[in-house]
Each structure stands twice: as structure tokens, then as C-alpha cells.
Amino acid sequence: MIIHTPTTEAQACAIVKSVIDSRVPLSIRGGGTRAGLGRPAQAASTLSSAGLTGITLYEPSEMVIAARAGTPLAEVQQTLASQGQMLPFEPMDHRALYGSEGEPTIGAVAACNISGSRRINAGAARDSLIGVRLVNGRGEMIKSGGRVMKNVTGLDLVKLVSGSHGTLGFLTEVTFRVLPKPERIATLQWRGLSDEVGVALLAKALGSPFEPMAAAHLPAGIAGPEALTLLRLENFSASIDYRGGELALLLGDYGVPDRLEGEAIAALWRSIRDAAIFAGSREAVWRLSLKPYDAPPAVAAIKRALPAARCFYDWGGGLVWLGIPGVGDAGAAVIRAVIQSLGGHATLVRAPDALRTAVGVFQPLAGPLMRLTAGIKTSFDPAGIFEPGRMYAGI
């Protein structure tokens, strides 16, 4: 295994050019903490962003930060925190789920479109990513977007690259818009609700003017013996008091909520963000994206066929994390059939390599979408160098 660690963009271009003719595939690596995400790629060599580090631009008053792709996410977050700011989309940390070590990088957050619980209100990583620089499969340096948050100049390749899992190119630098950290964070917590009722509560809250920033439902057995239904408010201190009170009134039919602040509830939100509930287990882990109201019936249908499944809901119900005993196809046929009937998608986030290769990781694409996807892959990477097969067979 050869590991290339360029320290300049020019070196990265030269490395890619050097393998085009031989078509030696390259695996792309940031901190290596999310290597289990996607189909196992078949690559003899690795192109690492470890030599491309450092924050290149930070203008707090313009709410923008740029960093080289290999910059540790923690460094970006600490720099932002020093000015009272943060990444808007609360990126998930995959280390608990995968049992991986190392430091997640900002480049991987962009490349894999990694978001967390705030996604439902503040958008995904792709919504805050405003600029990229990358080496395409021809060994050319390409830029798209920039450092300003309103920019419609030309095709939005930034979005295409975000969530492409390294299959379109090697990111060298990424630029994000950022937000001020809230003055205060508080959580309202209801106990003992069923999945249907919990999701209905979250929907009512999200359809209110009180702007919950995160909304999750944890069925009984996920975080203690009772089901927990959680709404997180982030705002100025006086607004937290006011909005918490209004929401408790609006949702009075569901019981009187606990009001929680501090480290314990923050830790629970982190474990929701990171799906840490499944840390250390041998289950296969799926991530389902649905319309919120479709989620409880989808889970019920899956559990009828796979009674050992356990799950919890984020994004007001629109995101379901599902653990299934990792035997057979890990529930792939059942889950995909349920999703097919409702609309949405399912991603096999954690499973042994052989299983991820066999059943695929991402929801299969319809014929026309697959043709466009293959065309886009070729338009960036004609020789098929980057992460072959990471997303779909051949992509």
C-alpha cells in the first residue's frame, strides 16, 4: 500500500496525473475515522490530505471560514468557538459508531456531507459549504463557489462534490459559512410517548413559530427504560424562557415537559448526533431518511419482519437510525421495500465489508438517475481513479 501525502495542490495534481495512464486507483483519506462509510473501495494506493492543513481564511464578521482539507475538524471548531461562532450543521462524529480512532477532518465533512441534529432547521453541510478547491481525475485544479454566501455564478459544482465521498476528486480546500453560537441552549423532554405520538409532538413543535433547532424521539430502551421525546431550543436567554413556556403550553396535551440544561443533556444530544447508542454492538446500522410522518409506520413495518430491530428518530422523525442483527442481508430487502413504497432512502452505514459489497450501501438509483450519475463521474474522473465503487458499483 502506497500512501501519497501531498503538501501542496501542485503535488496533489502531479500525483493524480502520474496514475492516470496506469489507472491505479486511489483511495482518498482524511483522518480515517469514517473509512467504513460507503462500499469498500478497491484501491491499491491512498491519497491522504494529512499534508494539507491549516485555516486559510477566517472573517468572523463575514461569517466565513476556509481551511485546507486535512485540517482537523476540532481545530476548525475551536477556532470558531474562540470568536463565539460555530459550524451551523453540527457534524456527526463517526468514531463511536465505527470504533475508529484519529481526528476527523474538515475535508471529509464536506466530501461526505456530514450533518447532525441541526440539519432539520439549519440545513446540511452542503447548505453551508460555499466553496471548494479540488483535483479532478485529470489532475487539474478546479475551483467552484468562493467565499461569499450568495453566489450563483456558473454550475454549482460545490453541491455535486459535497456528498460524493471522494469519487469526483480530491478536495484540497473548503470554505463554509458559519453562525454565531447561541447564547443559551435548553431542552424540553417528554416521557413515555409512543413513536407515533412522539413524532406528532415534534411535528407540531416544528410547525410552530418557536423554532426548535433539533427534535428527536428515543423509544423506550434506547436511553433508559422510558421513551424520551426531545426538543432543543437555541436562542438568546430571554427567548429560551419565553419559547420554552409557549411550547409547553402548545404541547400541553402531551404532558408537562422536563426542562433540561447542562452537560448531561448535551451529552445525550451528542450521542443522538453520533448514533452512539449503537457503539460497540455487533448490529448492522441503517440510516433512513423519510418524510417525518412516514417514519413511525415504516419502522413498524420493518419491525414486523425484523422483530429484533431497534431504532430512534432525529430530524423530527425524518431521520431514523436503525440497528439490525448483522446476519443474512442485514434487513436490506425488507428495509428497501418499505422505503420504496413510501419514498425516501436507506443507507447501510455500518456492516462488515462483505455485506456492504453484497447488498450495497446507498439506496439503488432509478435507471435515468444512474445514467446521469455515471456521466457525472466520468466528467470529473474519466479514468475511474478515485475511490472506485465507493458509492455504487462502478461509481
Question: Which alpha helices (DSSP H) does the chain contain, by range?
Answer: 9-20, 73-82, 95-98, 106-111, 119-122, 125-128, 157-161, 195-206, 237-250, 263-273, 295-305, 332-342, 353-359, 367-380
Q: Do the beta carbons of residue 279 and residue 96 sit within 8 Å?
A: yes
Q: Decide if residue 289 touches other proteins (CB under 8 A).
A: yes
Cell of 203: 411535528
Q: State how far the alpha carbon of 280 is from the alpha carbons of 95, 198, 221, 286, in Å.
A: 11, 27, 16, 15
Cell of 33: 475515522
Q: How far apart are CA 345 and CA 294, in angstroms?
A: 12
Q: Decide if residue 154 touches other proteins (CB under 8 A).
A: yes
Contact residue for other proteins among 124, 272, 309, 385 (CB under 8 A): 124
Question: Shortest gap between Cβ of 132 and other proteins (angstroms)?
Answer: 11
Q: Decide if residue 301 touches other proteins (CB under 8 A).
A: no
Q: Given strand 2-4, what is the order of strands in its sheet?
A: 2-4, 45-48, 26-29
Q: From 3-11, 90-98, 143-151, 267-275, give the range in contact with other proteins by CB under 8 A.
A: 143-151
Q: From 184-192, 299-307, 312-320, 322-330, give the range in contact with other proteins by CB under 8 A.
A: 312-320
Contact residue for other proteins among 293, 310, 326, 352 (CB under 8 A): 293
Question: Shortest gap between Cβ of 361 and other proteins (angstroms)?
Answer: 8
Question: Shortest gap between Cβ of 280 and other proteins (angstroms)?
Answer: 27
Burial (CB count within 10 angstroms: exposed 0-12, middle 13-18, buried 19+), residue 208: middle
211: phi then psi, degrees, rounded to nearest 5: 50, 60
Binding mask 78-117 for other proteins (x = CB under 8 A): ------x----------------------------x-x--
- Judged by beta carbon, residue 160 or residue 223, the one nearer other proteins is 160
Q: How far apart are CA 134 and CA 142, in angstroms?
A: 5
Amino acid at 242: Y
Q: Decide if residue 155 touches other proteins (CB under 8 A).
A: yes
- Judged by beta carbon, residue 145 or residue 219, the one nearer other proteins is 145
Q: Decide if residue 58 touches other proteins (CB under 8 A).
A: no
Q: What is the DSSP string of 48-92?
A: E-TT--SEEEEEGGGTEEEEETTSBHHHHHHHHHHTTEE-TT---
Q: Decide if residue 141 touches other proteins (CB under 8 A).
A: yes
Contact residue for other proteins among 119, 217, 232, 390 (CB under 8 A): 119
Residues 6+ apart with CB under 8 A from 72: 31, 53, 103, 104, 105, 106
Q: From 24-32, 287-295, 303-311, 328-336, give the range in contact with other proteins by CB under 8 A.
A: 287-295
Contact residue for other proteins among 147, 259, 270, 310 (CB under 8 A): 147
Q: Write out the binding residues for other proteins, residues 194-223 only, by CB under 8 A.
A: 203, 206-209
Beta-ladder partners of 187: 232, 260
Question: Shortest gap between Cβ of 308 and other proteins (angstroms)?
Answer: 25
Q: From 1-9, 21-29, 173-181, 189-197, give the range in contact with other proteins by CB under 8 A.
A: 173-181
Contact residue for other proteins among 1, 152, 264, 354 (CB under 8 A): 152
Query: Closest Cα to residue 214, out of 104, 312, 78?
Result: 312
Contact residue for other proteins among 236, 304, 305, 308 (CB under 8 A): 236
Q: Decide if residue 318 touches other proteins (CB under 8 A).
A: yes
Q: Decide if residue 164 touches other proteins (CB under 8 A).
A: yes
Q: Decide if residue 250 touches other proteins (CB under 8 A).
A: no
Q: State how far the alpha carbon of 117 is from the alpha carbons of 60, 121, 214, in Å.
A: 24, 9, 5
